[in-house]
């Protein structure tokens, strides 16, 4: 066989193989038939599976509150997916996510107490200006239960216990600011608050090389100037909705009952590195999960995802 015939044969063979593959692919294309009972059932029932997007807002009580994404059923994509199986199945719905028009970043400076009240998730907030002896065990327990917490570190503590701050960060937990030397920031001007926060931020950034995003005022004491100072530095001011009051040294049973009796959607749970917290933490985590809540990072709690 001549070289020219070999080339022609190869070209024709490739053409027919390509044509055949295209034919096979086209044969599996699903045409949308709006008269199909599957299509009509999707149209009739889709609203049961759709969510309206919810904008972030400043609540009169809970202040800055994150929004939630919405979703709409993609009718044609859902139909094509179900038609391949020949029956209606809501588990095969295809959705389009709808982003809220207003996000947290669009709102003016305001404290944050909780996540969205429709979100079945909670987050641990750990304020740290003492209790260094309990931190390694707390981190170990959190890691064993695959829970990510936010540790709000006092700048002076960070200076004295650099290895603990780096260990917390290396284990995947979030480092927030607790100001510098546990001052009453509710009595400070904006300039004083900013100076205090900058002292803490310098130390925390030097240890983690990450910009601090969250700030928890010592003892929960703050004023408008405090929140505005944090906002101008790119930080959200974080408070809490459930308090362990572990610094008063309750029994483990009292601490666990106190938290599980008040836990709710979007809860932020405040604790400190104490002996009773370490003792209670494994049971507390299990009890919270048993009530149907996910334990998530603060960033995830405040996100728009459901």
- Indicate the pTM of the whole model: 0.86
In whole angstroms, how far apart are CA 134 and each of 23, 139, 141, 164, 201?
Answer: 68, 9, 11, 11, 23
**pLDDT recorded at residue 28:** 52
10 Å Cβ neighbour count for 76? 14
Q: Tell me what the mean pLDDT of segment 108-131 comes to.
A: 98
Q: Which H helix or E strand runs over 152? A: strand 150-153
Q: Which fold has domain 121-302?
A: TIM Barrel (3.20.20)
Report the C-alpha gap between 215 and 239 in whole angstroms. 9
Report the C-alpha gap between 66 and 108 in whole angstroms. 13
Q: Tell me what the mean pLDDT of segment 56-63 comes to.
A: 97
Locate CATH 3.20.20.370 in the chain.
121-302
CA 131 from chain centre, in angstroms, equals: 27
Among 24-33, 42-51, 99-108, 295-304, the range scoring the smallest mean pLDDT is 24-33
CA angle 119–266–246, rounded 5-degree value: 150
Please check the confidence at residue 212 and state whether its pLDDT lies above 60. Answer: yes
In whole angstroms, how far apart are CA 70 and each of 80, 93, 94?
Answer: 22, 15, 13
Question: Whole-number mean pLDDT of the chain?
Answer: 92
């Amino acid at each position: 066989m001549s070289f020219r015939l070999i080339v022609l044969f190869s070209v024709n063979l490739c053409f027919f193989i390509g044509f055949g593959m295209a034919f096979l692919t086209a044969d599996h294309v699903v045409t949308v038939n709006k008269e199909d009972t599957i299509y009509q059932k999707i149209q009739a029932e889709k609203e049961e599976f759709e969510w309206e997007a919810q904008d972030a807002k400043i609540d009169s009580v809970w202040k800055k509150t994150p929004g939630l994404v919405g979703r709409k059923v993609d009718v044609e994509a859902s139909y094509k997916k179900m038609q391949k199986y020949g029956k209606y199945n809501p588990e095969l719905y295809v959705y389009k996510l709808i982003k809220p028009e207003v996000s947290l970043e669009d709102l003016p400076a305001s404290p944050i107490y909780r996540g969205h009240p429709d979100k079945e998730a909670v987050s641990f907030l750990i304020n740290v200006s003492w209790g260094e002896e309990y931190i390694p065990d707390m981190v170990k327990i959190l890691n064993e239960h695959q829970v990510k917490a936010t540790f709000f570190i006092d700048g002076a503590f960070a200076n004295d216990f650099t290895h603990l701050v780096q260990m917390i960060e290396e284990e995947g937990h979030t480092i927030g600011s607790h100001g510098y030397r546990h001052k009453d920031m509710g009595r400070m001007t904006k300039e004083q608050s900013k100076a205090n926060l900058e002292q803490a931020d310098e130390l925390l950034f030097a240890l983690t090389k990450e910009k601090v995003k969250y700030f928890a005022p010592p003892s929960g004491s703050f004023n408008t100037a405090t929140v505005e100072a944090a906002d101008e530095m790119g930080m959200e001011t974080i408070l809490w909705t459930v308090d362990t009051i572990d610094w008063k040294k309750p029994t483990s049973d009292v601490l666990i009952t106190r938290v599980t009796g008040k836990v709710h959607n979007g809860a932020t749970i405040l604790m400190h590195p104490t002996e009773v917290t370490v003792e209670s933490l494994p049971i507390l985590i299990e009890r919270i999960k048993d009530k149907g809540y996910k334990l998530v990072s603060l960033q995830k709690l405040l996100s728009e995802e459901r």
